[in-house]
A and B are shown apart, each in its own frame.
Chain A
Amino acid sequence: MANDKELFKYLPLTEATCYILLALIEPLHGYGVMQKIEQLSKGTVIVGPGTLYGAFSTLEKDGLIIKVGEEDRRKSYTLTSKGKSILQEHLRRVEILTGNAKLLKGE
C-alpha cells in the first residue's frame, strides 16, 4: 500500500503514466502496452518507445511495477500493490473531477 507521502509524490499521474499503469493490470511487454494504450484511449494517447522505456525504468525503480518475465528480449511487467493503490487513488480523484463536468454543461 502507498502512504500519504508517496501519494503526494506521484499524484496526479500524467495521462501517459496513468494509461501505462492501467495497461499493466495484466502482465504485458512493451509493445503490448503501446497497443493496449492506443486501444483503451481510443487513439487519444500514443506512447512512443523512448517515453515508454524511460517510464518502465522509473516505475520499476519506484516499485509501482515489477518485471514478471522475459521472452525474446521482451520484458513483461505488471502492477505491484503499491502501483495499484496509487492508480486507484488517482482514478478516484479523476472521477470526482469529471463528475464536476456538469458545471460546464450548466446543469
Chain B
Amino acid sequence: MENQTIRKYKLFFAWNDDKEEAWLSKMAREGWHLQSLGFPGSFTFTAGEPREDVYRLDFIINRKDYQQYLQLFRDAGWEHVGEVGGWQYFRTRKQGNQMPEIYTDNASKAQKYARVIMPLIIFLPIFINLATRPVSMESRYYDFYSITKLVMSFIIMLYTYAMVRLLVRINRLKK
C-alpha cells in the first residue's frame, strides 16, 4: 500500500529558520515526515509512525565540495532530506536528552547567516540599477518600465529588511 502524503505551504524567513526546524519536528511527532521540498515554502510529508526527530537547516551554495559535505553529515548521523535554494534540510533521531546539533558554537552558526547575506549583497546593485534607471516618457515601454521599477523598489525594501534581520541575528550570536 502506498503511503499517504500531504503537501503543505508555509513560508519562513531566513533569520527564523529555527521556527521552521521546530515546525518540521512537530510534524514528525504527529506522524508526518518530510519527504521532499518543492519551490520555497512547499513541503511534502509522508505518513508514518510518530517520531522524535530533530530537523536542522544549513545554508550552502558552493557546489565544489557538495558530495564531501553531504558525506560528512551522513557520517555524523544526519540524513539529507532535500535542498531548496541553497537551504539544506537535515534530520536525525533524537537520542536521550542530548539535542543533536550541526553547529556546535555560535561563531560557526553566525557564519551560516553571513553566507545567507552574501547572495543578497551580490544581487542588490542589479536591482538598484533597474529601480533607478531613468525612463523616457516617450518610450513605448514606459508602462512596462514603470511596473518593473515599482517591483524592484519593493524587492529592494524586502532585501534591506532581510539583511538587517540577518545582521541582528549574527550580532546576537557574536555576543
Residues of A whose CB lies within 8 Å of any CB of B are 14, 16, 30-31, 34, 46-55, 57, 70, 72-75
Identify which of B67, B71, B103, B108 gathers the most chain A CB atoms within 10 Å of its CB.
Answer: B108
Q: List 28 A-B contacts (CB under 8 A).
A: A14-B105, A30-B71, A30-B76, A31-B72, A31-B75, A31-B76, A34-B75, A34-B76, A46-B101, A46-B104, A47-B104, A48-B76, A48-B101, A48-B103, A49-B73, A50-B56, A50-B58, A52-B72, A54-B111, A70-B68, A73-B67, A73-B68, A73-B70, A74-B68, A74-B71, A74-B72, A74-B75, A75-B65
Roughly how many angstroms separate A75 CA and B75 CA in the complex, as a whole number? 12
Residue of B nearest to A16 (CB): B105
- In the assembled complex, the CB of B102 is this many whole angstroms from the nearest CB of chain A, namely 4
Chain A CB within 8 A of B51 CB? no
Which residues in A have their C-beta under 8 angstroms from that of B101? 46, 48
Q: Are B71 and A73 in contact (CB under 8 A)?
A: yes
- Contact flag A49-B67 (CB < 8 Å), given A30-B72, A55-B108: no
Interface membership of B112, Cβ < 8 A? yes
Which residues on the B side are within 8 Å of A31 (C-beta)?
Answer: 72, 75-76
Closest to B108 in A: A51
Interface of A is mostly: helix
Q: B-side interface residues toward A, CB under 8 Å?
A: 56, 58, 65, 67-73, 75-76, 78, 100-105, 107-109, 111-112
State whether B68 touches A75 (Cβ < 8 A).
Answer: yes
Most buried by A among B72, B78, B102: B72
User: Which of A30, A51, A54 is close to B75, meaning CB atoms less than 8 Å apart?
Assistant: A30
Chain B residue numbers with a CB within 8 Å of A34 are 75-76
CB closest residue in chain A, given B67 = A73
The 9 A-B pairs at the shortest CB distance, nearest first, are namely A31-B75, A50-B102, A73-B71, A51-B108, A48-B104, A49-B76, A30-B72, A50-B103, A48-B102
Assess A53 versus B69: contact at CB under 8 Å? Given A30-B75, A31-B75, A31-B76.
yes
Q: A30-B75, A72-B71, A74-B71 are in contact. Are A14 and B107 (CB under 8 A)?
A: yes
In the complex, A49 Cα to B56 Cα: how many Å? 11
Chain A nearest CB, measured from B74 CB (Å): 9
From A46, A50, A70, A72, B108 is in contact (CB under 8 Å) with A50
Closest CB of chain A to B143's CB: distance in Å? 47
Q: Which residue in chain B gives the minimum CB-CB distance to A47?
A: B104
